[in-house]
């Protein structure tokens, strides 16, 4: 299978460092502790520690996002190559299990994030996890190729989807068909 190179773009533009003034001050305080009050030393040490923790957390967040998107790209390769109709049903939980993370970590990492995919399109990362999107595309393709004299009922659509490995109930088919603004079979029937 194809492997994809994943880059987290903010990592290129975000070079955070601890302010040099604080680092120099801390070095001076360690060389000459008597020249500074314990309160001042504590203050500088506290701020240096907080700044380093903040930068470490940001770096960790970037690494986590990269890992998640790499795992998603490995699962959704056919979607990246062929488009929406090839989007596989994928859950945040399955990616979390694969990476040894909590589902909420995956959810938070991708929330509000966007990906530039090989087709040159920018999509919300949440789209990788919208299994209904691909099913709707398959339903749309099915209906486009149906016999207008014998249009598929929702039950038949469900059966056709099952043949393609997509197991969803008739009532879910009805919900998706309505979301696509497609009328029921009786209203789609053409007699000519």
pLDDT of residue 11: 57
pLDDT of residue 129: 84
pLDDT of residue 9: 80
Higher pLDDT residue, 68 or 10?
68
Q: Could you tell me the pTM of the whole model?
A: 0.63
pLDDT of residue 68: 95
SS (H, E, C) 58-102: HHHHHHHHHHHHHHHHHHCHHHHHHCHHHCCCCCHHHHHHHHCCC
Q: How far is CA 57 from CA 48, 64, 91, 186, in A?
A: 14, 10, 25, 58
Do residues 75 and 90 make contact, with C-beta atoms less than 8 angstroms apart? yes
Determine if residue 181 is left, alpha or beta; phi over 0 gives left, psi from -120 to 50 gives alpha, anything else beta.
left
Number of neighbours of residue 65 by Cβ within 10 angstroms: 20
Q: How far apart are CA 155 and CA 157, in angstroms?
A: 5
Q: How far apart are CA 6 and CA 145, in angstroms?
A: 37
Q: Which contiguous run of DSSP H or E holds residue 115? A: strand 114-116
pLDDT of residue 13: 53
Q: Take residue 163 and report the two structure tokens written for it.
A: 């043949």
pLDDT band at 1 (very low <50, low <70, confident <90, very high): very low
What is the overall mean pLDDT for the chain?
Answer: 88
pLDDT of residue 14: 65
Do residues 155 and 185 make contact, with C-beta atoms less than 8 angstroms apart? no
Considering the chain, what percentage of its residues have pLDDT values greater than 90?
47
pLDDT band at 131 (very low <50, low <70, confident <90, very high): low
Query: For the segment 40-65, what is each residue's pLDDT rounded down to a tens digit?
Result: 989 999 999 999 999 999 889 999 99
pLDDT of residue 135: 82
Query: For the segment 94-116, what is each residue's pLDDT rounded down to a tens digit?
Result: 899 899 999 889 999 999 999 99
Determine if residue 3 is left, alpha or beta; phi over 0 gives left, psi from -120 to 50 gives alpha, anything else beta.
beta
pLDDT band at 12 (very low <50, low <70, confident <90, very high): low
């Amino acid at each position: 299978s194809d492997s994809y190179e994943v880059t987290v773009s903010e990592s290129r533009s975000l070079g955070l460092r601890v302010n040099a003034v604080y680092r120099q001050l801390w070095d001076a305080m360690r060389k000459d502790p008597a020249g500074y009050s314990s309160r001042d030393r504590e203050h500088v040490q506290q701020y240096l520690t907080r700044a380093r923790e903040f930068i470490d957390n940001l770096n960790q967040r970037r690494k986590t996002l990269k890992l998640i998107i790499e795992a998603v790209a490995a699962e959704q390769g056919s979607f990246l190559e062929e488009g929406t109709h090839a989007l596989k049903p994928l859950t945040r939980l399955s990616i979390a299990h694969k990476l040894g993370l909590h589902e909420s970590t995956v959810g938070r990492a991708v929330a509000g994030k966007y990906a530039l995919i090989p087709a040159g399109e920018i999509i919300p990362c949440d789209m990788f996890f919208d299994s209904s999107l691909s099913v709707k595309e398959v339903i749309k393709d099915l209906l486009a190729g149906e016999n207008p004299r014998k249009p598929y009922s929702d039950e038949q659509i469900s059966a056709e989807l099952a043949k393609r490995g997509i197991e969803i109930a008739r009532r879910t088919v009805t919900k998706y068909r309505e979301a696509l603004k497609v009328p029921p079979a009786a209203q789609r029937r053409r007699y000519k």
